Structure 1
Amino acid sequence: MDHLNSSLLFPSPLPVPSNQSDFSSVFTQQVLPPLYLLLGVVGMALNTTAATIFFRVPSDSGLVVYLKNMLLADILMLCTFPLRAAAEAGLGGWRLRVAVCRYSAPLFYSSMYVGIVFMGLISLERYVKIVRRPSCSAPAGGSCPSLLSQGVAPARVLALLTWSLLLLSVLPNALLTSRPADASSHRCMQLKTSLGVQWHRVSTLSSVALFWATLLVLVSCYASIARTVLRAQRRLRHHGGHVCRRSSRSIASLLAVFLTCFVPYHALRVPYTLSQGPGSRFSPGTRRLLFHLKEATLLLAALNVCLDPVMYCLMCRSFREALLRRLAPGGRR
């Protein structure tokens, strides 16, 4: 999938005014690295805590399977933050920049898109549970059985296919970023073979298409869930729609995180890619501005690793109950 998006690890020697070059140096080398480190520390603390809790939660539903895999994707993504911050700050020299291009960056982007896929699978599981099952309007305390929510084996198969997609994207990007490098290698695209460049273009288009398709699934599922909840509330004036309302709020939180973290970056993705291509008609100043906006929105996408643990509490009752037991006096047993 995406591989540093043809971006620069450091500002390129484009002919830009000195004040803009100074801004670039401050933003990419002094502002972004500490922000990535902060996200890394907070995200790792939240996700390791979530991992210790999920370790005690049985994988007895498709939802739990998807959430656990999303947690793993976030942890893998977090592991790339220190290298990315060090490279942006100019530490480690050109060899670290090359390592980021060949290994860390493919893992960063692939983990992000794996997490996006699991968000889509979770929304489908919620859709089937609420919309496709008449028993969704059962009294409070009842359940809404579904093939996806109870089918652990199919969920594991889908998870395995998703991770296979990760390997399919990481390995070619790493293997085809193999051209000789030196201190003048500022761009990841300079390290790619001709086949690597073509693979990058295909994987970029695929990842962008995957994102917008997942967004369409999320919006469609939430719209259907919202209509079902409203109908249930009209039929049952008291507590009949409690289960559906709770599930509706959980999918709404998922959609909110998705829109906040990922839409700005992908809205900018197409103009940025066009500006970086060969024979681009964008001016150097516009190219540099798009690069800075891409880096800022990418940081917003990375914020997702800190928000996902909050969603686990909203979406998974078993996780929420295990967390409350742990927080209770004498809970650390």
Structure 2
Amino acid sequence: QAACNARLPQLSPAPKPPQTHTGNLQGERPSLNCTSDNRIRQVIFPLLYTLLFLVGLTMNGLATWIFFKISSKSNFIIFLKNTVISDILMILTFPFKILSDAQLVPWVLRGFVCQVSQVVFYFTMYISILFLGLITIDRYQKATSPFRTSTTRSLLEKTPKNVKKCALLKSEFGLVWHETVNYICQLIFWVNLMVIVVCYILISKELYKSYQRTRCTGRPSKKSVNLKVFIIIAVFFICFVPFHFTRIPYTLSQTRNVFDCSAMNTLFYLKESTLWLTSLNACLDPFIYFFLCKSFRKSLLGMLCKDTASPGLGAQIAGQNERDDTEDTPL
């Protein structure tokens, strides 16, 4: 029998088809073996988010208390109040991300971060983007017509292995849905970016015309005061533009097998860094309230001067707060 077996032709195993990166969502998930530097992920970013949490909660808590004292008599005030609420909700998600990234909680709670708190974070981020667009439109109306009134399927089972990456908790349909939502969010961002850029081009033209008129008449120019409105576009570009240039390639690295491990790690660090800039928006929005909302500014200054100024000065500030709100577009 051994001799017969020796004479039989030996069948070699069929060659495996070469692996190609077709870019579709089917097939093997992104590699579990592709890990990032734990020192950056578990130490640096948690410390940065802790700083944002402390500063942002303090500033937005103060802003909330002040806005409770200001009546909602204009679109502008309403937009700012809603932005404060959105920022506070975003800030409240920071502790979950801090504990998860630092791996100070069990893996089950890290799954909660992937499925719940990150959803809230991104939801509030795009709410803030939308309100920045509305505030810009309101400021454009104020600059051009200052006296016109403005009118899923079931999730995969969570295990210590797949909770390492949020994408691994999603089914095939979940990956498709994640990518689709990303494109929708990108559309929201780019539409608002175009609205803001167009409005600021028109605002700049109006400011230039105003500057030309004041130069011809010899009256002192108020250009330096009007330039405060550009704080909105500065915050928008600092906080949101870098993240949205990074988000599409990072999402593809999580849903499609199109990048090697080195590129995935690079995209991860870019995403986390630009996401921190996005979170910084919660700390920068109070500056928008202070520089552009006269009611907010006077209420804050009145509160700060309450203990040191005379009662007459406090009453004078309060009176001005009620009757002088020229920077707010009427409702």
Q: Secondary structure of the residue that 1:60 maps to in structure 2?
A: coil
Residues 233 and 200 of structure 1: CA distance in aligned 2, closer, same or farther (over 3 Å): same
Paired residue for 1:14, among 3, 23, 33?
33
Separation (CA, whole Å) in 2 of partners of 1:122 and 1:112: 15
Deviation at 1:264, TM superposition (A): 1.0
Contact 1:233 1:240 in 2 (8 A): no
The equivalent residue for 1:312 is: 289
Separation (CA, whole Å) in 1 of partners of 2:34 and 2:303: 57
TM-score (norm 1): 0.78
- Count residues with an aligned counterpart: 278
Contact 2:93 2:120 in 1 (8 A): yes
Deviation at 1:91, TM superposition (A): 1.3
Deviation at 1:284, TM superposition (A): 0.8
Q: Which has the higher Rg, Structure 1 or Structure 2?
A: 2
Normalized per residue, the structure richer in helix is 1
Deviation at 1:249, TM superposition (A): 2.1
Q: For structure 2, which runs of at least 5 residues remain unmatched after alignment?
A: 1-29, 316-331
Residues 54 and 197 of structure 1: CA distance in aligned 2, closer, same or farther (over 3 Å): same
1:305-325 CA distance string (max 9 Å, x none): 111101100110010110110
Q: Which runs of 4+ in 1 moved over 6 A?
A: none
Indicate the RMSD between aligned Cα atoms, in angstroms.
2.2
1:229-260 CA distance string (max 9 Å, x none): 11112123355864x763x4233101011111
The equivalent residue for 1:279 is: 257
Contact 1:222 1:251 in 2 (8 A): no
Q: Does 2:90 match 1:77?
A: yes
Q: For structure 1, which runs of at least 5 residues remain unmatched after alignment?
A: 1-10, 134-143, 152-171
Separation (CA, whole Å) in 2 of partners of 1:289 and 1:191: 22
1:135-163 CA distance string (max 9 Å, x none): xxxxxxxxx12332xx4xxxxxxxxxxxx
The equivalent residue for 1:195 is: 173
Equivalent runs, 1:224-263 vs 2, <5 Å? 224-237=202-215, 238=218, 242=222, 246=225, 248-263=226-241
1:111-136 CA distance string (max 9 Å, x none): 011001000000011112222x2xxx
Contact 1:177 1:191 in 2 (8 A): no
Q: Does 2:67 match 1:39?
A: no
Separation (CA, whole Å) in 2 of partners of 1:93 and 1:269: 28
TM-score (norm 2): 0.79
Q: Secondary structure of the residue that 2:296 maps to in structure 1?
A: helix
Contact 1:180 1:191 in 2 (8 A): yes
Paired residue for 2:148, among 139, 146, 149?
146
1:183-207 CA distance string (max 9 Å, x none): 1122222222443323212110011
The equivalent residue for 2:328 is: none
Separation (CA, whole Å) in 1 of partners of 2:100 and 2:232: 32
Paired residue for 1:204, among 171, 178, 182?
182
Deviation at 1:58, TM superposition (A): 0.7
Amino acid at match of 2:86: A
Q: Percent identity?
A: 37
Contact 1:102 1:177 in 2 (8 A): no
Equivalent runs, 1:55-204 vs 2, <5 Å? 55-131=68-144, 133=145, 144-148=146-150, 151=151, 176=153, 178-185=155-162, 186-204=164-182
